[in-house]
Amino acid sequence: MVEFQFVGDINDLSVEQKDFITNVLKKRGFENGKIQVQPVGKAGDNYAANVKRITIESNGETFKIIAKVASKQDMMRAMGNTTFIYQNEHVMYTEVLPTFTELENAAKVPGNERFRYAACYGTYLEAPNEIILLEDLGVLGFQILDRFTSLTDENVRLVLKNFASLHSLSYVLKNKEPEKFETFKNKLVDFSLLMASIPESANFFSQIYEDVQKLLRGDKYKKAVKNVITQMITYATKLAKIEHDSKFSVIQQGDAWTNNIMFRLENDKTVECCMIDYQASKVSSPVADLHYMIFLCTDYATRKKHYDDWINYYHSQLDKNLSNYGLKANYVYPRDKLDADLRRFAKASIGQIIFVTMVIIRESANAAKLQDAMKKVDSNTSMHKMADHIKLSGVDPETIKKFQSKIEGVIDSFIELGYL
Structural domain includes residue 27 = no
Structural domain includes residue 375 = yes
Structural domain includes residue 142 = no
Q: Where are the alpha helices (DSSP H) in 7-81?
A: 15-27, 74-80
Contacts 24+ apart (CB under 8 A), 44-51: 44/147, 44/360, 44/362, 44/363, 44/364, 44/366, 44/367, 44/368, 44/371, 45/144, 45/147, 45/259, 46/259, 47/80, 47/359, 47/371, 47/374, 48/80, 48/82, 48/85, 48/279, 49/279, 50/12
Digits of tens for pLDDT over the chain (420 positions)?
457 899 999 999 999 999 999 999 999 989 888 899 999 987 555 665 789 999 998 777 899 999 999 988 887 787 778 999 999 999 999 999 999 999 999 999 999 899 999 999 999 999 999 999 999 999 999 999 999 999 999 999 999 999 999 999 999 999 999 999 999 999 999 888 777 777 777 888 888 889 999 999 999 999 988 888 878 778 778 887 888 889 999 999 999 999 999 999 999 899 999 999 999 999 999 999 999 999 999 999 999 999 999 999 999 999 999 999 999 999 999 999 999 999 999 988 999 999 999 999 998 888 777 777 666 666 555 667 778 888 998 899 999 999 999 999 999 999 999 998
Range of the domain at 250: 148-416
User: 251 - beta bridge partners?
Assistant: 283
Task: Count up the domains in the chain and report the number.
Answer: 1
Structural domain includes residue 165 = yes
Residues contacting 322, CB < 8 A, separation 6+: 168, 171, 172, 328, 329, 332
Longest CA–CA span in the chain (Å) reads 71
Structural domain includes residue 302 = yes
β-pairing, 261-266 vs 142-143, is antiparallel
User: Where in 305-404 does DSSP place strands (E)?
Assistant: none
- Is residue 216 within 8 Å of 228, Cβ to Cβ? no
Q: How many CB atoms lie within 10 A of CB 267?
A: 5
Structural domain includes residue 368 = yes
- Is residue 352 within 8 Å of 196, Cβ to Cβ? no
The CATH code of the domain that includes 266 is: 3.90.1200
Structural domain includes residue 112 = no
Identify the sign of the CA torsion 384, 259, 289, 187: negative
CA distance 325 to 332: 12
Structural domain includes residue 255 = yes
* Torsions phi, psi for 239 (to 5 deg): -65, -40
User: 266 - beta bridge partners?
Assistant: 269
pTM: 0.94
* CA-derived radius of gyration, the chain: 21
